[in-house]
């Protein structure tokens, strides 16, 4: 696990795991890019982000702070769960204002300024064009999608989640289930999240994709804290795993 230490105002690393990727997550709202990724996307980033060189013995890494804050969320067409004071607790279905986004390649929403980073297709295509590693894209909104088809796919996704909930067995804490996964050669599921150990017993995290109903797998450099409070149940392992989205 690669974890940054704050030393005299500079970020230093005490582990190299995951640092050979072109993008790593330092925290929920802070990303770091390799020199290769910075060069490949520099015209898209331009004045939209500020960069901070990170201290490392052999790698060139840069933390990025997204400055492009856009009020692009279309609340009237999004599905929102609100706090009593009207603040957004969770967004279950995103809709954006294309007129507000315009030609932005990377941005943040005022509602989630300290956490989520959003990108558009032009940024994703640049990442794929240059074979940059470590990026994990989740489609939240398609400006050209057929509303009826999208709603049908949404229903299939909800039915899949309901099936997972309906067929679950005994539930365990994160610590308990990871131990059982190793002993019983199983995977674990909680809602749309799935855990599985690879051939080296490294933990992989899968996220059920709404558009394909398959899991997008990633090799995390840290465990999301929310996972520690979730309840998990054992399921069969998937025979072959490939990192990223699967068609």
Question: Distance between CA atoms of 222 and 24, rounded to whole angstroms?
Answer: 10
> What is the DSSP code (8-state) at residue 69?
B
Bridge partner list, 23 = 33
Question: Distance between CA atoms of 1 and 221, rounded to whole angstroms?
Answer: 5
pLDDT for 2 beyond 50: no
In the chain, domain spans: 4-66, 164-235
Question: Distance between CA atoms of 168 and 222, rounded to whole angstroms?
Answer: 26
pLDDT at 141: 84
Q: Tell me the per-residue pLDDT of 112-143, one tens digit each, with 9 for 90 and over.
A: 888 889 999 999 999 999 999 989 888 888 87
9 pLDDT tier (thresholds 50, 70, 90):
very low
Strand pairing category for 215-218 and 4-7: unpaired
What DSSP letter does each residue of 95-110 carry, written as one string?
Answer: -B-HHHHTT-SEEB-G
pLDDT at 166: 94
* Claim: this prediction has a pTM higher than 0.85: no
pLDDT at 43: 94
Structure-model confidence comparison of residues 145 and 118, the more confident one: 118
> What is the DSSP code (8-state) at residue 112?
G
Q: Which of 2-6, 150-154, 195-199 has the lowest mean pLDDT?
A: 2-6
Average pLDDT score over the chain: 85
Among 152, 139, 126, which Cα is nearest to 45's?
126
pLDDT at 12: 56
Q: Tell me the per-residue pLDDT of 24-75, one tens digit each, with 9 for 90 and over.
A: 887 767 889 999 999 999 999 989 999 999 877 777 889 999 999 999 999 9
């Amino acid at each position: 696990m690669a974890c940054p230490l704050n030393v005299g105002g500079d970020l230093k690393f005490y582990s190299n795991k995951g640092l050979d990727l072109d993008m790593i997550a330092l925290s929920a709202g802070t990303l770091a890019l390799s020199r290769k990724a910075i060069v490949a996307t520099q015209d898209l980033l331009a004045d939209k982000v500020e960069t901070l060189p990170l201290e490392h013995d052999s790698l060139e890494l840069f933390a990025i702070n997204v400055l492009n804050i856009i009020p692009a969320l279309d609340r009237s067409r999004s599905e929102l769960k609100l706090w009593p004071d009207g603040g957004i607790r969770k967004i279950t279905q995103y809709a954006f204002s294309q007129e507000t986004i315009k030609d932005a390649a990377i941005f943040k929403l005022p509602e989630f300024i300290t956490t989520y980073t959003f990108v558009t297709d032009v940024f994703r295509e640049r990442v794929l064009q240059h074979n940059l590693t470590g990026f994990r894209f989740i489609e939240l909104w398609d400006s050209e999608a057929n509303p009826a088809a999208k709603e049908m796919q949404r229903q299939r996704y909800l039915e899949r989640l309901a099936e997972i909930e309906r067929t679950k067995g005994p539930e365990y804490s994160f610590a308990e289930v990871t131990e059982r996964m190793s002993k019983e050669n199983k995977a674990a599921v909680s809602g749309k999240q799935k855990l599985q150990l690879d051939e080296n017993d490294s933990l992989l995290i899968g996220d059920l994709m709404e558009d394909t109903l398959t899991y997008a797998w990633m090799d995390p450099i840290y465990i999301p804290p929310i996972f520690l409070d979730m309840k998990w149940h054992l399921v069969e392992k998937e025979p072959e795993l490939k990192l990223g989205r699967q068609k």
